């Protein structure tokens, strides 16, 4: 990369990733606070599950609109808007006393979180070389996991020592400081102004000099991006209309994306890989470890921290692998999913209390789904037209969160149906039955991956396209 200011890409990326890590803190803030939240609001397991489920539902629903807005307004604006929404949500959570208002707070957090990751991933190809993207994508996810680590131990400690309000206000304060830096630093691409420069109309010298960093169109594949006019017009029917401003309608853009098998493949890879980790770390890990296995709070926190550390280590390993073996990355996702599924099934079917070695194996294997899910964005980047990149990333990102919100709510309902929906009534057998709800989702997701992988191969052969 040519550059008279070589540090600028890393400063922009570092600031964006810091805001993503804070978004993970906001997203995961209930990860070790499940029992505390039940006591604070006086709620059962199903109501507790409603907090992250509604948050993830909002996140998933917002992904496609956010992708459209991202293609129109750029990453910087979306990242900062997301930060503001999350700060508002956590400020609400710190001060309200009713369940209804607390759920509204999680709605704001989910909407803000939805703006962040997609925007950060969209920014990477603008600043870095194609060969760097798989590794940088994994490192982005790895650093984001630091936010999960913060939510597991420091946030729980802050709530225990400073109280519910003090702990959440601390999250708001940190988010405000980093967002303030982003206001002055974030740029969508080399030569593009910061949000401050857009508002004032004055472009600084650093932004002007950064224009020479811009290269040609960036893609992770050697072939040209697929054509956007992939849907043929059926004879006798009028072609889909465009809006008055010349832009294609939302429905047409969605149809064109979904007509590409590689985009559908990316969706199913994301659907099947991260949700077991999400439901464990975001909500049900602490209740399972304490109420199901009978561990102490410090021991449960230590194991949750181990999941985050394992995810970070696996991210470092998977980045170079997915970069070097592009044609085998789907198989990597399949193997990772089968490992997670087989480990969970062993825990569920083990008679009585699972041995310590099996629980440790679960804690180490479970996090592989997080970094593996990043492969889906590499697949999407290989098959999505450049002008649709934000939209495509948002669409794919709905996959895992759709599976997670279904599984998370199903676990809570399964516990309540068994009469084991509170810390006083949790039991190991009830948790085993509840976690079995993941099995149908694995079956559905893997079926989607196998079907779309075959269709993608045929599509690429028909169009003379290859990956390297």
pLDDT (0 to 100) of residue 323? 63
Distance of alpha carbon 468 from alpha carbon 463, whole angstroms? 16
Q: Which long-range contacts (CB under 8 A, 24 or more apart) does 198-204 make?
A: none
The answer to whether residue 222 is domain-embedded is no
The answer to whether residue 112 is domain-embedded is yes
| Residue (of 132, 364, 378, 407) closest to 270 by Cα position | 378
The answer to whether residue 218 is domain-embedded is no
Distance of alpha carbon 277 from alpha carbon 11, whole angstroms? 30
Is the Cβ–Cβ distance between 466 and 460 less than 8 Å? Answer: yes
What is the residue-level pLDDT of the chain in tens, covering all 468 positions? 444 447 888 888 888 989 998 888 888 777 666 667 777 677 766 677 777 778 878 887 887 788 778 878 888 889 999 999 999 988 888 787 777 788 888 889 888 888 888 888 888 888 787 777 777 877 787 787 777 777 666 777 777 777 777 878 888 888 899 999 888 888 877 878 878 888 887 777 777 776 666 654 444 333 333 333 333 333 344 444 555 444 566 677 777 777 788 888 989 999 999 899 888 887 788 889 888 898 887 788 788 778 877 877 776 777 667 666 667 788 888 999 999 999 999 999 999 899 999 999 999 999 888 888 888 888 877 777 766 666 777 788 788 888 888 898 888 889 888 888 777 788 899 999 999 999 999 999 999 999 988 888 888 777 666 554
CA 182 to chain centre: 20
pLDDT (0 to 100) of residue 271? 93
Is the Cβ–Cβ distance between 390 and 125 less than 8 Å? Answer: no
Distance of alpha carbon 291 from alpha carbon 427, whole angstroms? 6
Place of tokens 């006019």: 229
The answer to whether residue 3 is domain-embedded is no
What's the distance, Cα to Cα, between the start and end of the chain in Å? 21
Q: Which pair of structure tokens corresponds to residue 331?
A: 């198989």
Q: Which pair of structure tokens corresponds to residue 38?
A: 């039940």
pLDDT (0 to 100) of residue 223? 33
Helical residues (DSSP H) of 28-98, grouped into ranges: 34-41, 45-73, 75-95
pTM of this structure = 0.65
The answer to whether residue 17 is domain-embedded is yes
Distance of alpha carbon 340 from alpha carbon 367, whole angstroms? 9
The answer to whether residue 229 is domain-embedded is no
Three-state DSSP state, 123: helix
Query: What CATH number is attached to the domain comprising 269?
Result: 1.20.1250.20
3-state secondary structure labels for all residues of 300-356: HHHHHHHHHHHHHHHHHHHHHHHHHCHHHHHHHHHHHHHHHHHHHHHHHHCCCCCCH
pLDDT (0 to 100) of residue 118? 81
Is the Cβ–Cβ distance between 283 and 151 less than 8 Å? Answer: no
Q: Could you tell me the CA-to-CA distances from 122 to 69, 70, 77, 224 in Å, in that order?
A: 12, 8, 12, 18
The answer to whether residue 268 is domain-embedded is yes
Distance of alpha carbon 277 from alpha carbon 49, whole angstroms? 15
Query: Strand ranges (DSSP E) for 340-426?
Result: none
The answer to whether residue 220 is domain-embedded is no
| Residue (of 70, 65, 59, 67) closest to 28 by Cα position | 59
Angle, vertex CA 107, rays to CA 102 and CA 108, nearest 5: 100
Query: Please, what's the largest Cα pairwise distance for the chain?
Result: 70
pLDDT (0 to 100) of residue 34? 67
pLDDT (0 to 100) of residue 222? 34
Distance of alpha carbon 323 from alpha carbon 46, whole angstroms? 41
Length of the chain: 468
How many domains does the chain divide into? Answer: 1
Residues forming beta bridges with residue 248, ordered by sequence position: 242
| Residues spanned by the domain of 50 | 8-210+251-463
Distance of alpha carbon 201 from alpha carbon 329, whole angstroms? 44
């Amino acid at each position: 990369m040519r550059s008279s200011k070589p540090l600028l890409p890393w400063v922009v990326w570092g600031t964006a990733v810091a805001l993503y890590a804070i978004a993970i803190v906001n997203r995961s803030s209930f990860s070790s606070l499940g029992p505390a939240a039940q006591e604070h609001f006086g709620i059962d397991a199903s109501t507790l599950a409603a907090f992250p489920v509604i948050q993830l539902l909002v996140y998933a629903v917002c992904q496609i609109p956010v992708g459209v807005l991202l293609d129109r307004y750029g990453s910087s604006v979306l990242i900062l808007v997301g930060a503001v929404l999350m700060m508002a949500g956590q400020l609400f959570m710190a001060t309200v006393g009713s369940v209804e208002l607390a759920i509204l707070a999680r709605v704001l957090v989910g909407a803000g979180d939805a703006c962040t990751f997609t925007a950060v991933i969209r920014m990477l190809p603008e600043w870095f070389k194609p060969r760097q993207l798989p590794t940088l994508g994994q490192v982005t996810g790895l650093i984001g996991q630091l936010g999960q680590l913060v939510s597991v131990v420091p946030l729980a400690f802050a709530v225990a020592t400073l109280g519910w309000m003090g702990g959440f206000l601390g999250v708001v304060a940190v988010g405000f400081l980093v967002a303030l830096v982003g206001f002055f630093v974030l740029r969508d691409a080399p030569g593009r102004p910061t949000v401050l420069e857009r508002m004032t109309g004055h472009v600084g010298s650093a932004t002007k000099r950064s224009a020479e960093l811009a290269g040609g169109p960036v893609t992770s594949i050697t072939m040209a991006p697929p054509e956007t006019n992939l849907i043929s017009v059926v004879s006798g029917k009028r072609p889909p209309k465009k809006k008055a401003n010349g832009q294609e309608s939302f429905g047409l853009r969605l149809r064109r994306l979904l007509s590409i098998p590689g985009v559908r493949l990316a969706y199913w890879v994301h659907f099947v890989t991260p949700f077991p980790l999400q439901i464990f770390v975001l909500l049900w890990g602490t209740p399972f470890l304490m109420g199901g296995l009978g561990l102490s709070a410090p021991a449960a926190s230590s194991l949750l921290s181990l999941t985050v550390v394992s995810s970070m280590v696996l991210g470092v390993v998977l980045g170079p692998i997915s970069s070097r073996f592009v044609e085998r990355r789907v198989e990597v996702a399949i193997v990772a999913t089968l490992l997670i599924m087989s480990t969970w099934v062993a825990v569920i079917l083990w008679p009585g209390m699972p041995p310590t070695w099996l629980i440790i194996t679960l804690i180490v294997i479970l996090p592989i789904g997080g970094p593996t899910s990043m492969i889906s964005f590499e697949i999407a980047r290989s098959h999505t037209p450049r002008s649709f990149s934000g939209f495509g990333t948002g669409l794919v990102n709905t996959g895992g969160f759709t599976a997670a919100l279904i599984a998370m709510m199903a676990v809570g309902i399964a516990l309540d149906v068994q009469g084991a929906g509170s810390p006083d009534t949790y039991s190991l057998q009830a948790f085993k039955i509840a976690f079995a709800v993941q099995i149908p989702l694995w079956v559905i997701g893997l079926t989607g991956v196998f079907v779309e992988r075959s269709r993608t191969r045929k599509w690429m052969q028909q169009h003379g396209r290859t990956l390297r």
